[in-house]
Amino acid sequence: MHKIKEWGYVFGQCKICDTHFLARSRHYELCSDKCRKVKAATAKKEFDERAKGNKLEQLHESAYFYWYNRLRKLRKKATNSEDTEKAANFKVQFDIFRKEAVKRKALVKGRKMPLADFSAWLVEQQSVADGLME
């Protein structure tokens, strides 16, 4: 016990599996990577449940995966330098889209932009993604 105090460790109880463990400070709530993965999966499920009824989240996720799936398709098809360059260019445009989408989503959440305008912008961006595919 003396060495534990000397090293600055404390006893903690894992929030996931309720096992006791030594932690570097009281801020540690989880005992292992396994419990961190369980907590992350649980948080993802909770977010998905909350977002299920939220039209804004549905639109954003749909547009994100529209771009993401096309990027995967380009990368999979890339056999020569021209295709590889096309995929790299698409990735740059995808990153720009993601940043702008997050900004616009925040505007909708803050009620500074109507959801209809955000939806229309996302549709425009799909045509941009399709244009980059050609």
Whole-number pLDDT of residue 87: 92
pLDDT digits (tens, 9 = 90+) for 60-119: 989 999 999 999 999 998 888 888 999 999 999 999 999 999 999 999 999 999 999 999
pTM over 0.95? The answer is: no
Whole-number pLDDT of residue 107: 95
**Cα separation, 87 vs 90, whole angstroms:** 5
Question: Residue 59's closest CA among 122, 128, 133, 125?
Answer: 122
Whole-number pLDDT of residue 12: 86
Whole-number pLDDT of residue 81: 87
DSSP element (H, E) containing 7: helix 2-7
Whole-number pLDDT of residue 40: 94
Whole-number pLDDT of residue 2: 75
The C-alpha torsion from 48 through 74 and 123 to 65, rounded to 10°, is 0
What token pair was written down for 89? 């260019």
pLDDT digits (tens, 9 = 90+) for 20-74: 988 887 788 888 899 999 999 999 898 878 777 788 888 998 999 999 999 999 9
pLDDT digits (tens, 9 = 90+) for 3-19: 777 777 888 889 989 89
Whole-number pLDDT of residue 114: 94
